[in-house]
Chain A
Amino acid sequence: MTSASSASATPTARRPMKYRETRRLIRTYSRSFSSMVGLVIVALFLLIAAFGPLLAPYPEDAYGAVDFSAKLLPPSPEHWFGTDQVGSDILSRVLIGARTTLQIGLTVTGIAILIGVPLGMIAGMTSGWLPEAIMRVTDIFLSIPGLILAIAIVGALGPGIGNAMVALALVWWPGYVRLVQAKTLSQRNETYVDAARALGAGPLRVVFVHVLPNCLSPIIVKASMDMGLAILAAASLGFLGLGAQPPYPEWGAMVSTGRSYLPDWWWCTLFPGLAIYFTVLGFNLMGDGLRDVLDPRQR
């Protein structure tokens, strides 16, 4: 029929359909000021995580170099963020600590997704006792405050950055199960799933080709927010002395050690604290922005 109409008037502009869609998404995202602030913070954070050791003025200070002659110096041109109780440059430790923080965020959300998404898909697509069992276990996990459970797990495994990440990942996955199960349930009833079955698609194909791609948006949104939250949780564990151990350059642990020097030597806590604050804020703002773009109905 003649449905071509006006849209085809510009045949050259039509072809790269994918890019057009992406451009629209970018435009929507960039219209929001706070989303852009989030994006800038996150980009800055990633750059620091990548090049921290090169940027740091005293890289050796990050790994326990001790110089008592320079301890607890206030911020100055030599030490922008001041020095701590063993004379290490706080700026260097914050810059190099970014990589640890990124590692924590990626590991925790990564493991949580690897566990949560498949379980959520199974719970959403099948019926019988299995999804029941998955959802009840999820409920049990969700009913216990995550951080408390993580503390208990680290308590059992012994303090340390590796164990802290494992513990956090173990309490983090149930959120993904809930999200993916709900999304899968709604997708399962969409007619296109019936249509795929009528065309002869088997259950695995239905899941991987049809359902999963349509669940991606909320997973991406949640993951970007969880990056911030996981970093905050890891910092809390570090602060409680259950995560990274000093002198390992981890922001939470730095705040924790610096706490004993408050209020006179405030820079020991302020700068790592601000680093945590801005990173978490950045990921949250970015997550909000992504949600508005990818999943406008979830608002």
Chain B
Amino acid sequence: MMDSTPILDIRDFSLVFDTFDGAYHAIDKVDLSLAAGEAVALVGETGCGKSVLTRAAFGLVPSPPARITSGSVRLDGRELLGLSDRELRGVRGKDVAMIFQDPMTYLNPVFRIGTQLTDAIRAQSGGKVKRAEARDIALGMLEKVHLPNPERQFKAYPHELSGGMRQRILIAMALAAKPKLLIADEPTTALDVTIQAQILDLMAELVEDMGLTMIMISHDLGVVAQVCSRVAVMYAGKIVEDAPIGQIFDAPAHPYTKGLLDALPHPFKRVERLASIPGTLPDLLNPPKGCRFAQRCASAHAACDAPVGLRRVAPQHTVACTLFEDTPMKDPVHEH
């Protein structure tokens, strides 16, 4: 199922923001890798660093104030850290595509959809594709994302379309260059429930049929469940658990993951009380040396004051928690 050379391989990635009050340790020693055709969810709450991680890896976080202090980011074997801005722009246009929460922000309100799509396709190809050809590609993409009446929407301006349609168009634009990796940052958060369901169906379909490799960033475990096969849970700048989707729901290991799941109200079950995670995020200007969740963790003990790395508890299931022993196992994704 999985290729031995990952499409994206982030290793030991750390990033700080230099602020008035000192260095803010936003990301700390993160490892994340994706095999071709894999859809991985990056899940966590506000301030966990999930968006910063994926943006910084591709040079989208301005420096200063950000400073990458360690690590490597390899896209299909090519190291990205240290590339010039120009080279990174090339990577972002062609190899990595991104879609975001609010599609309106990424569409120019004064140009027709068709113009923006064909321009984007021509720019991605470095101007090699002719206008008419780009138009055909664009229309083909719009059909792939099931936009009703693509010919007519081609002449529309962004404000004439609904949020769901705009998100479809952005997906089409992102995928037109056949990127190696798609990053979807909360793509459905701004949408209504029934429209969200449509977009999630579309994304699941693209992953299955087109073999799309994708990182989907979300705060909602329910949303990613329909699309992704693996989940990495982030807390306070660290990945605390990384497991296949089934195991995250059926056998969550990290106390934070458990806490998140227990905090969700369920639409089809009578729940009397929700478990809530007490406390707030640790101060990342002065992060705890050991487990960053220990302060809020009911199972915390003395060993939690020492740094804890990811430990393997099952094939493809790792967790950064002292409650578990590391059991070395053969696992193609994590081996070199």
Write the residues of chain A forming the contact surface with B, with a CB cutoff of 8 angstroms: 1-3, 5-7, 24, 27-28
Q: Mark B221-239, 1 if CB is under 8 A from A, else 0.
A: 0000000000000000000
Is B267 in contact with chain A by the CB < 8 A criterion?
no
Q: Tell whether, in the assembled complex, residue B20 and residue A3 are in contact, meaning their CB atoms are under 8 Å apart.
A: no
CB neighbours of B283 from chain A (8 A):
6-7
Is B299 in contact with chain A by the CB < 8 A criterion?
no
A12 to B20, CA, bound (A): 21
Stretch at the interface among B85-93, B199-207, B274-282, B312-320: B274-282
Q: Tell whether, in the assembled complex, residue A5 and residue B20 are in contact, meaning their CB atoms are under 8 Å apart.
A: no
Is B247 in contact with chain A by the CB < 8 A criterion?
no
Consensus secondary structure, chain B interface: loop
Q: Tell whether, in the assembled complex, residue A6 and residue B278 are in contact, meaning their CB atoms are under 8 Å apart.
A: no
Task: Identify which of B20, B279, B282, B286 contacts A2 (C-beta below 8 A).
Answer: B279
CB neighbours of A2 from chain B (8 A):
278-279
B176: min CB distance to chain A, Å? 35
A168 to B94, CA, bound (A): 58
Q: Mark B255-290, 1 if CB is under 8 A from A, else 0.
A: 000000000000000000000001110110010000
Q: Tell whether, in the assembled complex, residue B20 and residue A6 are in contact, meaning their CB atoms are under 8 Å apart.
A: no
Number of interface residues of B (CB under 8 A): 8
Tally the A-B contacts, defined by beta carbons under 8 Å.
Answer: 18
Please, could you name 18 A-B residue pairs with CB atoms under 8 Å apart, sorted by A? A1-B278, A1-B279, A2-B278, A2-B279, A3-B279, A3-B280, A5-B279, A5-B280, A5-B282, A5-B295, A6-B282, A6-B283, A6-B286, A6-B295, A7-B283, A24-B20, A27-B20, A28-B20
A27 to B280, CA, bound (A): 28
B213: min CB distance to chain A, Å? 38
A28 to B280, CA, bound (A): 27
CB neighbours of B279 from chain A (8 A):
1-3, 5
CB neighbours of A24 from chain B (8 A):
20
Consensus secondary structure, chain A interface: helix
CB neighbours of A1 from chain B (8 A):
278-279
Residues from 51 to 95 in B contacting A, C-beta threshold 8 Å: none
CB neighbours of B295 from chain A (8 A):
5-6
Question: Given A1-B278, A3-B279, A5-B295, 15 more contacts at CB 8 Å?
Answer: A1-B279, A2-B278, A2-B279, A3-B280, A5-B279, A5-B280, A5-B282, A6-B282, A6-B283, A6-B286, A6-B295, A7-B283, A24-B20, A27-B20, A28-B20
Chain A's closest residue to B279 (CB) is A2
CB neighbours of A5 from chain B (8 A):
279-280, 282, 295
B15: min CB distance to chain A, Å? 21
A53 to B282, CA, bound (A): 59
A39: min CB distance to chain B, Å? 19
A1, A6, A7 — most chain B CB neighbours (10 Å): A6
B263: min CB distance to chain A, Å? 13
A2 to B279, CA, bound (A): 5
CB neighbours of A28 from chain B (8 A):
20
A69: min CB distance to chain B, Å? 61
Chain B's closest residue to A5 (CB) is B280
B282: min CB distance to chain A, Å? 7
B23: min CB distance to chain A, Å? 16
B291: min CB distance to chain A, Å? 15
Chain A's closest residue to B286 (CB) is A6
A2 to B280, CA, bound (A): 8
B42: min CB distance to chain A, Å? 25
A5, A7, A28 — most chain B CB neighbours (10 Å): A5
Residues from 87 to 126 in B contacting A, C-beta threshold 8 Å: none
CB neighbours of A27 from chain B (8 A):
20
Chain B's closest residue to A3 (CB) is B280
A234 to B48, CA, bound (A): 56
A6 to B279, CA, bound (A): 9
Chain A's closest residue to B21 (CB) is A24
A283 to B283, CA, bound (A): 39
CB neighbours of B20 from chain A (8 A):
24, 27-28
Chain A's closest residue to B282 (CB) is A6
A189: min CB distance to chain B, Å? 19
Residues from 25 to 40 in B contacting A, C-beta threshold 8 Å: none
Q: Mark B7-23, 1 if CB is under 8 A from A, else 0.
A: 00000000000001000
A156: min CB distance to chain B, Å? 46
A267 to B175, CA, bound (A): 70
Chain A's closest residue to B280 (CB) is A5
A28 to B21, CA, bound (A): 12
A70 to B332, CA, bound (A): 97
CB neighbours of A7 from chain B (8 A):
283
CB neighbours of B282 from chain A (8 A):
5-6
A24 to B19, CA, bound (A): 12
A3 to B281, CA, bound (A): 9
